Amino acid sequence: MTRVKGWKDWRCSHAASLLTLLAVVPGFGVAQPLRPNVKAAPPKINVEDKDDICKPGSKIWVLNFSFKEPRLITVDIPGRGRRLCWYLKYEVVNRTDQPHTFYPDFELVTQDKPGVYHDQVLPKVQEAIRQVEDPTGYLDLKNSVTIASKPIPPSKPDAVPKAVHGVAIWDDVNPDANLYSIFVSG
């Protein structure tokens, strides 16, 4: 399980802490150089793992996960009206030698105004986010369902990584919430 802490006020330097994604993968690769505003979540060993992710032949594999700080967007959602939605744009890179399917689960937990919110697939919101984050469609942003439709292809060492880009979306988050955590698992 992964956790991001931060403040809703994006100007605050505490906007998000490092996010770590743990899954099952043999070994992990070299960190890629990041673009501005992108935070990496390097693979780490989980104390509950029965095998070491660094050992050759490990039964545990880990995907590399990076993300941009959560953002807000207002969208007119059919059947719900004009809504303020939170979203997290992320990318996943597979540095193993085999393709692996990523079944993400994103949970936003507000701490100052207690609430738990699960990622939702909202096509109208996803399209509005695509227009802001990927207007050319080059990144082919996926949601939590479509990212799991095909395995994440492996990236060769010392080559440009084959990143798969996704977006997690939350609707109905308490507008007065300022302190939150985001848990990512998959």
What pLDDT does 54 receive? Answer: 67
What pLDDT does 60 receive? Answer: 79
Q: Where are the domains of the chain?
A: 2-185
Judging by DSSP bridges, how do beta strands 105-110 and 164-170 pair with one another? unpaired
Residue type, 130: R
What pLDDT does 4 receive? Answer: 52
pLDDT tens sequence across 136-152 = 999 999 999 999 999 99
Task: Show the tokens assigned to 8.
Answer: 């809703």
The CA-based angle 39-40-46, given to 5 degrees, is 135
What pLDDT does 19 receive? Answer: 32
> How far apart are the C-alpha atoms of 166 and 141, rounded to whole Å?
5
Judging by DSSP bridges, how do beta strands 64-68 and 81-93 pair with one another? antiparallel
What pLDDT does 80 receive? Answer: 93
What pLDDT does 33 receive? Answer: 52
Q: Which residues of the chain have pLDDT under 70?
A: 1-35, 54-56
Task: Show the tokens assigned to 96.
Answer: 């193993």
Contact residues for 5 (Cβ-Cβ < 8 A; gap 6+): 14, 16, 17, 179, 180, 181
> How far apart are the C-alpha atoms of 112 and 47, rounded to whole Å?
29
> How far apart are the C-alpha atoms of 25 and 62, rounded to whole Å?
4
